[in-house]
A and B are shown apart, each in its own frame.
Chain A
């Protein structure tokens, strides 16, 4: 049972990250290699609030959300926007996000050691499970992460389908040039998408320590699962990220667990191999992801 619970929590968090990745990919056209580090930024924000101000990580969610959003916007405005204005190729933009990831890794690593020096606690490696409580037979993180997903989906649905800004946003996702002619400021929608992406990652990062140990370099490891989830679902579809997140999240934890029962605990280190395997199968069978499949398209139309 604990395994299924862990798999669900992990999937929920992965969904937050892969929706973030997908949104910026749709509006800006660049896969953000720094998405994993965005999340770890959130983790450290939560840790700081816990150690210095004694705020429980669950209450740190709004703060992580805002901070993450600001970081996302800054990256877009400082790094990507000037490059796009220069007509940089997509590979150049990807290298820029890789560089951003490295800067983040440096900042997070430096900050973790600084935090250790002022709090005299271990901050270069931490986990929040001891701060979690249980509701019934389940740990609270299961409910919190599910709640976050539900709220997010409701928010996205209302925003995208019920508001004027959402319609403009969808228009500029579908066809930026046409949207611009119709008077939509595509720049705003891009900035908003980066805010949203950063905010979602911040929240995911705030909750991630309840599921796994965090070190400054965790972002570089988790990025594989984020990309796998987004690509399996289809990089250009938000719903795809939702489906992909559950597929990768559960296969990474449940399949690995099942295999470890069969073949012994040595298999557990191969968890990411399974997501890679799913990713490659998805690329061969459906290069545009599940949402790119013809029958799924017809269903969702």
Chain B
């Protein structure tokens, strides 16, 4: 394996996981909603590409047959078109992202409705159950998105020469992740961001100040799910197929939680650091899996070792570093800094 390839892989996964981890940080880190069904939103993004955009293309290009077969044909037809005219590929990407974000937001808003009546633990269970069942249906029902056969997806970068394709994807994913980071940072530095943190700390107090907790929750989860769905779109276009099995609970719910907790909840810089450290370890583990297997004389696949390792790391974080790598800082708004400044001045004058 060349170093370039490893670095690119790290960059790619860093971008993808950063989008998902940031989306989870808004919901869990800021608003305190235990969304144990994060994987669902990512699956929605993949579904938007494999199940919806694909079907539209099948209709437009007049291809017959079931979704598994037709998507293959559509892919080869679309690839030729995109190779001739890059605009098609870019349009496809943008349209898919828009569709995924809209559906993601709608599903997210519906998904959180049970929280009106449920306490935290019941809510977490329900969200996990919904996400897990959706995953199972998509995995077994071949008519939706090809189930375990999967469906093909057009290569939106068919015009880019093969050896540059990965780099181009890294740039696209990085740019998207950076954009998400900027938008979220800006959005969360407003009174809305502080409302979310207040909701996390004390819902009753927020209610007493006349804020609608349920509406805020719906907004937050709709936003988070829309963002996570974008990651699903990017991942599907990168791997040029959609197989439901790739959107399992471990990779897209548990790992994002691990990254958020590792970095530090409610703190986007910390989460970014958490994602980076996690991705470096994960990519190295995957790249050298055969070497690890033979070095340690493992009689089994090193994937299992990865699960054990990350599970243990999670428990160690919870036990010994619950605040994460970078601790959340208190927010000082302008009026508060002014007030503190005034107090300090008065103190100085007295002395």
Contacts and interface: CB of A to CB of B under 8 A. Distances in A.
Contacts of B299: 113-114, 117-118
Contact of B257 (A95, A266, A279): A95
Contact of B124 (A94, A224, A284, A287): A94
Taking chain B's interface residues, is the majority helix, strand, or loop, or is none over half, making it mixed?
helix
Given A106-B308, A269-B140, A272-B136, A227 B319 contact: no
B114 interface: yes
Given A105-B307, A106-B311, A283 B133 contact: no
A113 B311 contact: no
A203 B247 CA distance: 31
Interface residues of B, number: 46
Interface in A71-122: 79, 82-83, 86, 88, 90-92, 94-96, 98-103, 105-107, 109-114, 117-118
B129 interface: yes
Given A102-B307, A109-B300, A113-B300, A269 B315 contact: no
Contacts, number: 140
B249 A284 contact: no
A151 B75 CA distance: 59
A291 interface: no
A148 interface: no
A283 B303 contact: no
B129 A276 contact: yes
A105 B312 CA distance: 12
Nearest to A235: B122
B51 to A, nearest CB: 16
A290 interface: no
B118 A283 contact: yes
Contacts of B121: 30-31, 90-91, 94, 235
Contacts of A114: 299-300
B250 interface: yes
A92 B129 CA distance: 18
Contact of A99 (B249, B306, B314): B314
Given A31-B125, A279-B129, A100 B305 contact: no
Contacts of A31: 121, 124-125
Contacts of B315: 79, 96, 99-100, 103
B3 interface: no
Given A92-B322, A96-B315, A103-B308, A273 B137 contact: yes
A217 to B, nearest CB: 9
B311 A103 contact: yes
A77 B124 CA distance: 24
Given A83-B319, A91-B34, A100-B315, A279 B126 contact: yes
A105 B248 CA distance: 13
A142 interface: no
Contacts of A287: 117-118, 122
Nearest to A89: B120
B212 interface: no
A99 B249 CA distance: 12
Contacts of B298: 110
A9 interface: no
Contacts of A17: none
A94 to B, nearest CB: 6
B308 A280 contact: no
B181 interface: no
B311 A100 contact: yes
B290 to A, nearest CB: 15
Contacts of A199: none
B238 interface: no
Contact of B318 (A88, A107, A227): A88
8 closest A-B pairs by beta carbon, nearest first, are: A106-B307, A103-B311, A113-B300, A106-B308, A99-B314, A110-B304, A102-B311, A269-B140
28 contacts: A31-B125, A79-B315, A83-B318, A83-B319, A86-B322, A96-B318, A99-B312, A100-B311, A101-B311, A102-B311, A102-B314, A105-B304, A107-B304, A110-B308, A113-B300, A117-B299, A221-B132, A224-B132, A224-B133, A227-B128, A235-B121, A269-B136, A273-B137, A276-B129, A276-B130, A276-B133, A283-B122, A284-B117
Interface of A: 30-31, 33, 79, 82-83, 86, 88, 90-92, 94-96, 98-103, 105-107, 109-114, 117-118, 220-221, 223-224, 227-228, 231, 235, 266, 269-270, 272-273, 276, 279-280, 283-284, 287
Given A31-B125, A90-B120, A221-B136, 10 more contacts: A90-B121, A94-B121, A106-B304, A106-B306, A106-B309, A113-B300, A220-B249, A227-B128, A269-B137, A284-B117
